[in-house]
Amino acid sequence: MVDRLRPAYHFLPPSNWMNDPNGLIQWRGRYHLFDQYNPNGAFHGTIHWGHAVTDDLVHWRDLPLALAPTPDGPDKDGVYSGCAVDRDGVPMLMYTGIRPQVQCIAEPVDPADPDLVAWRKHPANPVIPEPPAGVEVEGFRDPFVWREADGWYCAIGSGVNDVGGAIFLYRSPDLVRWEYLNELCRGDVVESGRMWECPSFLPLGGKHVLLISPIPLRKVLYLVGEYRDHRFTPERIGIVDDGGAYYAPQVTRDERGRWLMWGWLREGRDVEAQKAAGWSGVMSLPTVLSLTADGRLAVRPVPELEALRGPHRGWSDLDLAEGGPNPLAELSGDRLEIALAIEPADADEIGLSVLRSPDGAEETRIVYDVAAGELWVDRARASLDPGPSRERRGAAARLPPDGTLSLRVYVDGSVVEVFAADGTCLSSRVYPTRGDSRGVELRARGGRARARRVDAWTIGTIWTEAARTIPAAGS
């Protein structure tokens, strides 16, 4: 039986649980994506590192599990999140072992293998055995490593009890011997959570950007500011993606100099539903990062995704009015990309519905509030199942001087990702129950609007093999 809710062009393993993206690296032209994976079921536990590769950011191959817990080792209770770097021609992984939380490294058995299938853990593990002395912390995990002129640097996510989230900064000559330097940055428990998970730290547009996933906010924040003398001073804070599903992203710089990012799209249904489906967790589409002229973080889908486009339909100069006919009545599907440009005219709201049943009992609405300047994903009627989340989630989205709303919307089973031209993005999970919830409706409310152009494509699968199995885990 085909699972209509299972995405076809977003990455996820063949079965079971997946969460954070890990170890992102382009190695000898091939992109590697590792992830938090449970080989024992569609629930969080017994965390290993899954592994997949792509040559084009579009089509993927699954590989054997890269890292598994070592009995009686520092990662015996789980191989948690981390990163990958190129150490003088040898790719290296750095990750967290838990109970207690410590930092470990691993290297490939054969660095010449383009797939980097087999990995071995370093005998010096744990290379960072404990948090800084004298600090009461909540969490000490998710290392992110980069290189500067005087050595390797590592940012570790944490929180100072009763104070707020913090990032601890370490330095090493060889990834094995580490010294603690200072706090890279600290937050306030009220404004930015009590513990900062999954940091990424990168130079971008003449500034530095720190990405954090704060507990208990359940969303990703970005901080833009200055990095000097081993300290980061934020000047601006914003939300990376406030669609309700996006969490724990990681970045990597590819051979073209682009900063690419993937995030984990969490499920919006309960654990029993995930177990019944046999899978849980999806990666976002790969995106490229930039800073806008006014210093905001912009997130846009990579252009390579256009290779997935299949049959196309297009419309031009469509007049929209509340209660008028739906000009996209003949468009339907649950594996779509839709690009649209709409002039609001005097309408209060403009947008479209996807995964819509003919009677409108189920639909996911994507709405732009013209007066407020806000883009929303409204899931109030996304599913007749009372279990999944029905939150309405949104963010400010700026229109260009001509006032045209330009969106790219990706629909893939239970995933809806929306990208606005200004770099705003909203990623959501929805779970329609009806087989006919496949329609698309273009709409205006409170006045008239004009759709200058609408293009829609049926999207194919990202998988190069029909059957995929996960081999036994490495040691």
List residues with catalytic annotation: 20
**Is residue 260 within 8 Å of residue 251, measured between CB atoms?**
yes
- Residue the block writes with tokens 């990579």: 302
CA separation for the pair 337, 191 (Å, rounded) = 36
SS3 per-residue string spanning the chain: CCCCCCCCCCCCCCCEEEEEEEEEEEECCEEEEEEEEECCCCCCCCCEEEEEEECCCCCEEECCCCECCCCCCCCCCCEEEEEEEEECCEEEEEEEECCCCEEEEEEECCCCCCCCCCEEECCCCCCECCCCCCCCEEEEEEEEEEEECCEEEEEEEEEECCCEEEEEEEEECCCCCCEEEEEEEECCHHHHCCEEEEEEEEEECCEEEEEEEEECCCCCEEEEEEEECCEEEEEEEEECCCCCCEEEEEEEECCCCCEEEEEEECCCCCHHHHHHHCEECEECCCEEEEECCCCCEEEEECHHHHHHEEEEEEEEEEEEECCCCCCCCCCECCEEEEEEEEECCCCCEEEEEEEECCCCCCCEEEEEECCCCEEEEECCCCCCCCCCCCCEEEEECCCCCCCCEEEEEEEECCEEEEEECCCCEEEEECCCCCCCCCEEEEEEECCEEEEEEEEEEEECCCECCCCCCCCCCCC
In 3D space, the residue among 107, 220, 113 whose CA is nearest the CA of residue 157 turns out to be 220
In 3D space, the residue among 354, 393, 396 whose CA is nearest the CA of residue 372 turns out to be 396
CA separation for the pair 251, 458 (Å, rounded) = 28
User: What does the buried/exposed string (b/e) look like for 259-289 if buried means 16 or more CB atoms within 10 Å of the residue's CB?
Assistant: bbbbbbbbbbbeeebbeebebbbbbbbbbbb
